[in-house]
Chains A and B, each alone.
Chain A
Amino acid sequence: MSAIQESFSEGASLAHRLDPRGKIVVAALFSILVAVTKNYAVAVAGLVLASVYLALARLPLKRVVVRLLVVNSFIFFLWLVLPFTYPGEAVWRFGPLTASRQGLIYAGLITIKSNAIIIALIALVATVPIVTLGQAMHNLRLPDKLCHLLLFTYRYIYVFEQEYRRLVQAMKIRGFRPRTNLHTYRSYAYLAAMLLVRSFDRAERVFQAMLCRGFHGTFYSLKSFSWQRRDRIFLGASLLALLVLLCLEWARPILL
């Protein structure tokens, strides 16, 4: 019924059974390393490593591809802009536009890096249910505010989705049809404003309800995680692989 689903979090593969804390740490280190590199070798090696993680997660390939297409549709716009705006040696002319070699290389690098990071995040983070993710973050001593923000967003996003649907239905049954006119824009603005006001009120009531149950600023977690042999192996192997990436970064000359 609900449009928000965590389809990747269900499964029994090795990647699903790993301790979420290890996966979060590896995913974070991996993302930082790949994001800052300007080296093709590192980016490609990152993509290979991410694919290994994806293979471990045994996710339905079709849905992974669909999700990657969404991400790459944004990157597509980079390809439209970057080669023509990046200064460098001209390789191709199209009317007044000139594509530079450096621009093409740069766009290619960004594409590989983004895909590597997204694949790694799908394999390592999307395989953890959001609730567990929040608790694992808490367990890793990440700031409380961050964990609570994640958990509360997750809890109430359904409520707001339902509220949004109710409002849209209420508009529809009174004959509202979106058109390109002021009435439509105004109605949508009212809808957005109403959602905002309601979410503010709800936040207030939730907080009151928490106060009534003795809340005084700290959350206590009931969840306990178990760190096993396979987690040690996973973390060790991943750190080793990341070390190789780091060495590549230093060893090879920077391409750009």
Chain B
Amino acid sequence: MSQPLIELINITFTYPGAPQPVFQDFNFELLPGNHLGLVGPNGSGKTTMLHLIMGLLRPQAGTIRIFGEEVKKEKDFVQVRQKVGLLFQNADDQLFCPTVIEDVAFGPLNLGKPPAEAIRIARKTMEKLGLAGFEDRVTYKLSGGEKRLVSLATVLAMEPQLLLLDEPTTGLDEATRHRLIHILQDLDIAYMIVSHEHDFLHHTVQECCHVHKHCCQSASNSSGRE
């Protein structure tokens, strides 16, 4: 049996000032190659879970292991963020550079790649997502669907080993949704998707989990991909 990519062990997390904890002795693991859907009502902690994995939030108790290594401090999470990509709910939060190519090259540059190499990676990633020709487009003038795909390109340009997607289909039209499904089906890395759309999950993941306060419970396999 191979080592889990992510292990959350006895995690307790409460937002500052909140009366109730989001997670209490919460346990979860993700195995390599898994394509998992996270479902659950609003406020059940789906986004919180992703942010805990990325180290954007810190649990009050419990252990987080990523790729088998325990992560605790900011320094550990810096390593995690080079291997795990997170696609944010709102593309406007993710795209901050003036032009598309700069935004996609931002991650590779942070990884220490020289500019020419960063541009090459950015172009290759954009081509793969069908975004060739978008290089000099201004990010804030893109349509909602284009913003979403460019955001995905900015994450994939870092060549992550694991991808976390937070409600990737919000506000997408049918055509862009189909493009996204095809892109995800072609990916050869593990990913987790937070979504409320069962139809979308049906096409993209093998298994769905309900996020609860204490654990992630496998949902009925009717929504999973065969």
Q: Interface of chain B, helix or strand or loop or mixed?
A: helix
- Chain A: minimal CB distance from B26 (Å): 21
Chain B positions 76 through 98: 1 when the CB is less than 8 Å from some CB of chain A, otherwise 0: 00100110011010101110111
B118: Cβ under 8 A from any A Cβ: yes
CB of B111 within 8 A of CB of A214, answer yes
- Chain A: minimal CB distance from B102 (Å): 6
Q: Interface stretch among A10-18, A43-51, A150-158?
A: A150-158
User: Which partner residue on chain A sits nearest B154 by CB separation?
Assistant: A213
A205: Cβ under 8 A from any B Cβ: yes
CB of A222 within 8 A of CB of B140, answer no
CB of B92 within 8 A of CB of A159, answer yes
A208: Cβ under 8 A from any B Cβ: yes
Residues in B with CB closer than 8 Å to A156 are 96
CB of B107 within 8 A of CB of A222, answer no
Question: How far is A152 from B158 in the complex, measured between Cα atoms in Å?
Answer: 23
- Chain B: minimal CB distance from A228 (Å): 21
Q: Contacts A214-B107, A222-B118 given: A131-B99 contact, CB under 8 Å?
A: yes
- Chain B: minimal CB distance from A210 (Å): 7
Residues in B with CB closer than 8 Å to A252 are none
Residues in A with CB closer than 8 Å to B139 are 155
Chain A positions 192 through 215: 1 when the CB is less than 8 Å from some CB of chain B, otherwise 0: 000000000010011011111111
CB of A131 within 8 A of CB of B78, answer no
CB of A214 within 8 A of CB of B93, answer no
A216: Cβ under 8 A from any B Cβ: yes
Residues in A with CB closer than 8 Å to B82 are 214
- Chain B: minimal CB distance from A216 (Å): 7
Interface residues in A91-128 by Cβ distance below 8 A to B read none
Q: Contacts A213-B110, A214-B110 given: A205-B88 contact, CB under 8 Å?
A: yes
Question: How far is A151 from B92 in the complex, measured between Cα atoms in Å?
Answer: 15
User: Which partner residue on chain A sits nearest B111 by CB separation?
Assistant: A214
Interface residues in A211-256 by Cβ distance below 8 A to B read 211-216, 220, 222
B193: Cβ under 8 A from any A Cβ: no
B101: Cβ under 8 A from any A Cβ: yes
Q: Contacts A205-B93, A209-B94 given: A159-B140 contact, CB under 8 Å?
A: yes
CB of A213 within 8 A of CB of B102, answer no
- Chain A: minimal CB distance from B90 (Å): 7
Residues in B with CB closer than 8 Å to A208 are 51, 54, 56, 88, 93
Instruction: Kindly identify which residue among A151, A154, A209, A214 contacts B158, using a CB–CB cutoff of 8 Å.
Output: A214
Residues in B with CB closer than 8 Å to A134 are 98
Question: How far is A159 from B111 in the complex, measured between Cα atoms in Å?
Answer: 28
User: Which partner residue on chain B sits nearest A214 by CB separation?
Assistant: B110
Question: How far is A152 from B109 in the complex, measured between Cα atoms in Å?
Answer: 19
B165: Cβ under 8 A from any A Cβ: no
Question: How far is A220 from B119 in the complex, measured between Cα atoms in Å?
Answer: 12
- Chain A: minimal CB distance from B114 (Å): 9
Instruction: Kindly identify which residue among A210, A211, A214, A216 contacts B96, using a CB–CB cutoff of 8 Å.
Output: A210
The 10 closest A-B pairs by CB, nearest first: A214-B110, A131-B98, A220-B109, A205-B93, A213-B107, A209-B94, A212-B86, A208-B56, A158-B140, A209-B93
